[in-house]
Amino acid sequence: MGTLLVLIVFALFLVAIFTGGYNKDLKGLLEKSTVWDWLTTVDHKKIGILYFFSGIFYFVVGGIEALLIRMQLVVPQNDFIVGDTYNELMTMHGTTMIFLAAMPLIFGLMNVVVPLQIGARDVAFPFLNALGFWLFTFGAILVNLGWFFGNAPDAGWTSYVSLALNEYSPGPGIDYYVLGLQITGIGTMISAINFLVTIINMRAPGMSFLRMPLFTWTTFATSALLLFAMPPLAVGLLLLMFDRLFGANFFDYTMGGSSIIWQHLFWIFGHPEVYIVILPAFGIMSEVISTFSKKRLYGYTSMVFASVLISFLGFMVWVHHMFTVGLGPVSNSIFAVATMTIAVPTGIKVFNWLFTMWGGEIRFTTAMLFALGFIPTFVIGGMTGVMVALPPADFQYQDSYFLVAHFHYTLVGGVVMGLFAGAYYWWPKMFGKLLNETLGKIHFWSFLIGFHLTFFPQHFLGLFGMPRRVFTYQPNVGLENLNLISTIGTIGMAIGVLAFAANVVLSFVKKEKVPNDPWNARSLEWTIPSPPPAYNFVQTPLIRGYDAWWIEKQAGNKSMKPAEPIGPIHMPSSTFVPFLMSLSLFIAGLGFIARENFAAGILGLIMFFITMFVRSFDRNHGCHIEPEEFDQANKGVKA
């Protein structure tokens, strides 16, 4: 039945491609609809908004999973969620937050902001940009389908073998994880390449590398990290798929394989992933603190080199996740030193932010409050990171709640608070409306207090011997009160997220628009209307230094000096092909998960390659917007 259904979909798919739609009139109506516009868009700003709201959705999903975990642990010997269900919940919480929430939120801000900051009208490859988003979307759906078909992934977000092999995880749960993450990973790789080429090739005249804003620099560093970190994960997932679906023995030690290979492949990706998500947050901090301190970023050049050094050292520390595996004292010592060394460029950033604020005219907006809350919170996470970098100490901390506290202080206290700061800062540029500051401050204080109540006690839970991933614990051993406090803290975080949700809804309801530059900011994105037109800049601006917009304002200019005369602007055309290509891989993934036979999976791959083939004959190279079509209010690059 399943194969028959896929065959019908396949036939309709071919008809749609080769006829341009089932009905020309229906196709015309669809093309005029808002839904069709968003499904087929290649506008980097719209794709950024799609990424951003997808990330918010999965952040809420992951948050609900976290609340359920804490409800189970609120009292000892609770039976609210136990056994396999708890393992699935724990696995999906980590997988969702790392791969499906943090990454799209980051890519959302990158897509909206980076082309504007470098004076570009679009990204280098608009088609690939859309393809990257839809691959992420369908991969994320595939990862979560296990919830609806009775068997979600249950081997932890790291999916360690041999636990993830058929013998110990016999259902299709791990297959959803393996195939879903492979699809999202392809999209992530495409996006990384796109940002690298965009930043290298599409900067406005005069914008050298050492004149780029820090957020663009951290996007560049993150994209380079992804380029080298994703292939090891892709290889590991491919080998695990062969072990589970085709009877290979790459990781089965009873058949000559090695489970340690998976750990190496996963953490060669997994630890750079920490910097992949935190570096953009560092860039956001730099933009926000500089703007709301009304000062040039202190030590700009050292911040750039610190970002590059973090990227380089990020690939030399993965074994600190494996100190207890038995690699030996020499290996452990080398990676311990590398891990402690990476704290140095991070410290440079923290002190530069503090020196930027020193003597500045600080405005305590919501974005600035999140930036201020970020600094001590992330420093605590960094300090505990140095603690677990010591192999003898790590033998005591490993697999305890101390590690849970450590990585939540870096990934939630760092990444999430950074993303909230970026959301409040760039929201007017994305949507032309300000978020409410009162609700924003409620969001900040409830989230910050709730966060520390939740995760600070977990350091002591770990020191008192509570192992992570357990769904219950014994009474009268000193763990009850700390677990109760930790669960109460999640309520504060939930209130904060609800305040943010209310703020978002309120911003769309209210009518008033904001000016181009509501923050009196410093970089190019604030020189154009809010929200920006499809073409971003009527005339490409000429850059005269770092903080290009601030330089012009200080010189008394009300607009950027153009680097070109007004003329026609080329824009790419919308296309539904990225959606169809991603749908094809989704069908292929479902087909391989079915296992009875792989006909549906092979058909999905055939659909994918047919779509690629048809795309290669696409002669629609976009259109030109003529000067007389420009909105008169948008002429010039005005504040």
The model's pLDDT over 257-302, given as tens digits with 9 standing for 90+, comes to: 899 999 999 999 999 999 999 999 999 999 999 999 999 999 999 9
Instruction: Work out whether strand 623-625 and strand 569-571 pair parallel, antiparallel, or are unpaired.
Output: antiparallel
Residue 153 to residue 172: CA distance in whole angstroms:
8
Residue 496 to residue 568: CA distance in whole angstroms:
46
CA 607 to chain centre: 29
User: pLDDT tens-digit profile of 205-234?
Assistant: 999 999 999 999 999 999 999 999 999 999
Half-sphere exposure of 165 (CA within 13 A, CB side): 20
Domains (range + CATH), the chain: 30-551+558-575+620-633 (1.20.210.10)
Going by pLDDT thresholds of 50, 70 and 90, the confidence category of residue 101 is very high
Query: Cis bond leading into 126, ω under 30°?
Result: no
pTM to 2 decimals? 0.93
pLDDT of residue 23: 55
Check whether 481 has a pLDDT greater than 80. yes
Mean pLDDT of 245-251: 91
Tallying the residues shown for the chain, one arrives at: 639
Mean pLDDT of 142-161: 91
Check whether 153 has a pLDDT greater than 60. yes
pLDDT of residue 595: 78
pLDDT > 90: percent of the chain: 77
Going by pLDDT thresholds of 50, 70 and 90, the confidence category of residue 594 is confident
- Over the chain, what is the mean pLDDT? 91
Among left, alpha and beta (phi > 0; psi -120 to 50; other), residue 83 is left
Check whether 638 has a pLDDT greater than 50. no
Q: What is the 3-state secondary structure (H, E, C) of 310-354?
A: HHHHHHHCHHHHCCCCCCCHHHHHHHHHHHHHCHHHHHHHHHHHH
CB atoms within 10 A of CB 518: 15
pLDDT of residue 35: 85
pLDDT > 70: percent of the chain: 94
What tokens were used for 109? 């801000």
Check whether 614 has a pLDDT greater than 70. yes
Going by pLDDT thresholds of 50, 70 and 90, the confidence category of residue 113 is very high
User: pLDDT tens-digit profile of 395-419?
Assistant: 999 999 999 999 999 999 999 999 9
pLDDT of residue 636: 37
pLDDT of residue 440: 97
Return the higher-pLDDT residue of 449 and 636. 449
pLDDT of residue 255: 87
Going by pLDDT thresholds of 50, 70 and 90, the confidence category of residue 637 is very low
pLDDT of residue 6: 60
Mean pLDDT of 496-525: 92
First to last CA, the chain: 60
Going by pLDDT thresholds of 50, 70 and 90, the confidence category of residue 513 is confident
